[in-house]
Every structure is written in structure tokens, then in C-alpha cells.
Amino acid sequence: MKKHAYTVSQVNDYIGRMFAQDFMLRSICIKGEVSNCKYHSSGHIYFTIKDEKAAISAVMFAGSRSGLSFRMQEGDKVLVTGSIQVFEREGRYQIYAKEIQNDGAGSLFLKFEALKQELYEMGMFADEYKKPIPKYIHTLGIVTAPTGAAVQDIRNIAGRRNPYVQLVLYPAKVQGEGAAESIVKGIQTLDAMKPDIIIVGRGGGSIEDLWAFNEEIVARAIFECQTPVISAVGHETDTTIADFVADLRAPTPSAGAELAVYDIFELYDELEMYHRQLRHFMTWKKDAAVSRYENFKTLLQMKSPQNSLNEKKQYAANLEEKLQKELQQKITEARYRMGMLAGRFEGVSPVRKLSQGLAFVTDVHDKRISAAAGVNIGDEIRIRLQDGLITADVVRIVPVENMQNER
């Protein structure tokens, strides 16, 4: 006999109608601690109400926000009034809150605040103990679960930004019993390997899921680690003790990978930019040096001794030319004067007189005899004619006044 089978939708619809017909579930108040609280951009609030034994999902739609007079946070103790209904598409039930009242802080929240204050007073959050995060790394240590979105996100982003960075994973337990000890062991093991940076983190979750990162032993391991530590726990709204102690907090594991691993392609672009700038600078420097060289060369040419020497040579040549002209003029003038004098001397020249039939008479000592009174009878005289010399003895002296009678 063939059995009658119901579809999943029919079963969920039946359970949903049963919940709707139950008087107590239509208006119920639940007391518990808030966990995994998310404020959606639509205005809806999704959270979990829990106690030490169990938990129930809850939602407050934007239209019911008037029933909430404070901003809920992880660990708040609340009284939630609303109806419990079945979410048929997923086959689970949850409380649809109409009113939420604050019933005090939760135990985990109080424990978190107490440890946070204690470590703060010890100075473990002080900036002076924060180690700088190196910009360029070769090795990245990772303390997280070997499976899950966190490690995959880190691998993908690190591989995309710089495939040459070596990733070293310590597969730690990040939730539940023994998680804190496993995280501490991972930090210490990787620190001994001396990577450039260590990322400690996991994906998002409730305050209970993330509690291992709120343990004091994890905080001390991060503080004592010699390698710079980036805390990358949960989502952006999640905050743990590890975030305060770490050298740098990343809102998510993906953001942690981006902070730890430099983008090598951006580095290539920067290097290319610097190369262009350097090439432009060197070209400018070369052009400036050539320009200065040409300026100095021109200045040296202007102030060169050769120029002065050339000027002096030209000046000397001009003087020489002028002197030659003046000398030639002096010579010409002298020759002219000598010609004039020669003409004048020629008229009184003894040679010319001799050629005209006159004679030059001297005594034996070549002393010129210009008058008859200068000789005596018997003196030897010398008579120079044009063509020779006559030596004679004076036998008679006739005065001028008697010369007419001698004819």
C-alpha cells in the first residue's frame, strides 16, 4: 500500500498554523541575553536571545522599532515581547519582537568589560607598545581555522595583491573548548619562525563564538609576540580584547590581508612613476648642466686671455702699420729735404767748382789757402784740379791790385 507523503511546504505550513493558533505563542515575553546582534540597513534588527542552555532567533522589523528605546549591544540582558512564528521558507521558528526592554548587562559582556579594564590599566593597550606594521613583506603568518571563509579570503586577497608573498598557516581551533590555548600555541609557533607579520582572526559570529579572542591568555600571547600582529576577528561591528592588544586591528580577515600584503602591481606602477620622474629629472639636470656649460664657455670666451692677446696683437699691428706709414712719410720728407739740400749744396760744392775750371789750393799740410797773403815765395803748394793734383813752388806773388798790369 502506497503511503501518503506530504511536501516540505505542507509540513511547514501546518506547523505554522499550529503556532498561530497557540494563544501563549501569539503574545509571549522572553528573558535572555542578546547575542549576534545585527542592525540591517533596511532598519530591521536581527539577533539571538540565549541563556546558559539554549538560544532562539529573533527579529524586530523596522515598523516595530518604536518598541525599542535603546541601542542593543552584545551581552545585553533584555525582555523581548512578541509572537513566535514559523519562518516557513527555512522551516525554523523565531520570535517577532514588538517590544524590547533592557534587563541589565549579560554575564559575558560584564566579563568582557572587566578584563578590558584590567588589561587597560596594565598598559597592554598603550600605543607605545604597538609595533609598526612593515609595508613590504616576504612572509605572512596566519593563525585561524584551516577551513572556513576567513582563511580562504586571506589566501585569495594575498594571492591577488602579491603572489610572491609566502603564506604560513597555523591551523588553530578558533571556537569552543581549547580554542584559546590553540590560538596561543599558533601565535608562539609562528613567532618563532619570524615571519614579517602575523594575522590572528576568524570569521564573524556571536559573542560566544568569538569568546576565545577575549581570553586573557590570548591577549598576553599577542602582547608578548615579537612579530607585529594584526587582529582580524569577525565582522566590522565585532570587537574583541585581541583587537585592543594587537598592533593593528582589521575589521575583517579580508581587510587584514589587505593591510598586511602590499599590492605589488601598485608597486610596479609607483616604480614606473618614479622611473619617469627620475628620467625627467635627469633630462632636466642634463639640459641645465649643458646650459650652464654653454654659459660658462661663452663667459670664458669673453674673459679669455686669448681675446685680450688678440686685441693687443691687433693694437700692435695697428701701431706698426701707423708707425710704418709715419716712418715712410718721414723718409719721404727727409728725402725731399735732402734733395733740396743737395741742390743747394751742389751749387757750392768744391767738386762742382773744380768742374767749372776752379782749383783748390792747399799747403803741404793740406791746409786750404784762400788768399795770396797766406803763402810766401818758395812755399810748396798743392793745386787740385778736376782731373788731378799739381805740386808747385811759389816763385812770385802778385797782389790783386797789380794783376791788371800783369796782363
CA distance 214 to 242: 6
111-262: CATH superfamily: Succinyl-CoA synthetase domains (3.40.50.261)
Q: Which residues of 212-247 are buried (b: 16+ CB within 10 A; e: fewer)?
A: bbbbeebbbbbbebebbbbbbbbeeebbbbbbbbbb
Task: Dump the DSSP string for 80-104.
Answer: EEEEEEEETTTTEEEEEEEEEEEEE
Q: How many alpha carbons fall within 13 Å on the CB side of residue 188?
A: 11
Evaluated on CA atoms 399, 402, 406, 407, the torsion sign reads: positive
pLDDT at 349: 64
Q: How far is CA 148 from CA 30, 172, 194, in A?
A: 33, 12, 25
Query: Mean pLDDT by 10-residue block, N- to C-terminus, for the chain (407 residues)?
Result: 78 83 85 90 92 90 87 86 87 90 72 88 92 94 92 93 94 92 96 96 83 93 95 82 94 93 88 90 90 83 72 83 87 83 67 67 81 80 80 79 62
**Residue 135 carries which DSSP code?**
S
pLDDT at 389: 82
pLDDT at 318: 86
Q: Which fold has domain 8-105?
A: OB fold (Dihydrolipoamide Acetyltransferase, E2P) (2.40.50)
Ordered alpha helix ranges (H), 68-165: 107-121, 149-161
CA distance 11 to 90: 12
Would you state the torsion angle of the CA atoms of residues 289, 290, 292, 293, taken in this order, to the nearest 10 degrees?
Answer: 120
Are 82 and 95 spatial neighbours (Cβ–Cβ below 8 Å)? Answer: yes
Are 281 and 289 spatial neighbours (Cβ–Cβ below 8 Å)? Answer: no
- State the greatest distance between any 2 C-alpha atoms of the chain, in Å, as a whole number: 218
CA distance 80 to 78: 6
Q: How many alpha carbons fall within 13 Å on the CB side of residue 28?
A: 16
Q: How many alpha carbons fall within 13 Å on the CB side of residue 316?
A: 6
Q: Which residues of 35-70 are buried (b: 16+ CB within 10 A; e: fewer)?
A: bbbeeeeeeebebbbbeeeeebebbbeeebeeebee
For 214, the 3-state DSSP assignment is helix
CA distance 72 to 116: 20
CA distance 204 to 208: 11
